């Protein structure tokens, strides 16, 4: 149950894609510094990026970063609120990619990372 966004080259071949779906974050999973600024509900709304991938031919050209920025811009311009973007990294290289872009891992789940939209607004907005 996701929306899939696809980047194509000039011939229509798939260069990369990502998916977004609605999600939530348990307040107890957030660092205290983040949680203390939020209402005392058990969870806060979020958007989950389940998959992000770039075709081998297009790796290292900025497409992965551009698609991450595209996802953040979509969430920022949506009329439904989300506290953060959440991603599921498939391996340590993916964790490093997301950390490089300022995302933070959950202590309880090191391959799941998040970026508060308030921070994203400063980067993309």
Ligand X SMILES: CC(C)(COP(=O)(O)OP(=O)(O)OC[C@H]1O[C@@H](n2cnc3c(N)ncnc32)[C@H](O)[C@@H]1OP(=O)(O)O)[C@@H](O)C(=O)NCCC(=O)NCCS
Interface residues toward ligand X, by CB under 6 A: 52-54, 59-65, 89-90, 93-94, 96-97, 100
In angstroms, give the least distance from the CB of 35 to ligand X.
25
| 67 and 104 Cβ atoms separated by less than 8 Å | no
Q: Is 98 a catalytic residue?
A: yes
In the bound state with ligand X, the residue whose beta carbon lies nearer, of 37 and 99, is 99
Residues ≥6 apart with Cβ < 8 Å to 73: 124
In the bound state with ligand X, the residue whose beta carbon lies nearer, of 35 and 69, is 69
């Amino acid at each position: 149950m996701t929306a899939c966004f696809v980047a194509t080259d000039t011939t229509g071949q798939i260069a990369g894609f990502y998916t977004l779906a609605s999600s939530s974050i348990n307040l107890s999973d957030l660092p205290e510094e983040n949680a203390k600024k939020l209402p005392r509900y058990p969870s806060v709304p979020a958007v989950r990026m389940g998959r992000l991938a770039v075709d081998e031919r297009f790796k290292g050209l900025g497409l992965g970063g551009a698609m991450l920025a595209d996802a953040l811009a979509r969430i920022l311009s949506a009329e439904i609120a989300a506290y953060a973007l959440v991603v599921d990294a498939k391996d340590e290289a993916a964790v490093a990619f997301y950390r490089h872009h300022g995302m933070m891992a959950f202590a309880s789940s090191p391959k799941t990372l998040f970026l508060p939209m308030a921070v994203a607004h400063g980067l993309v907005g």
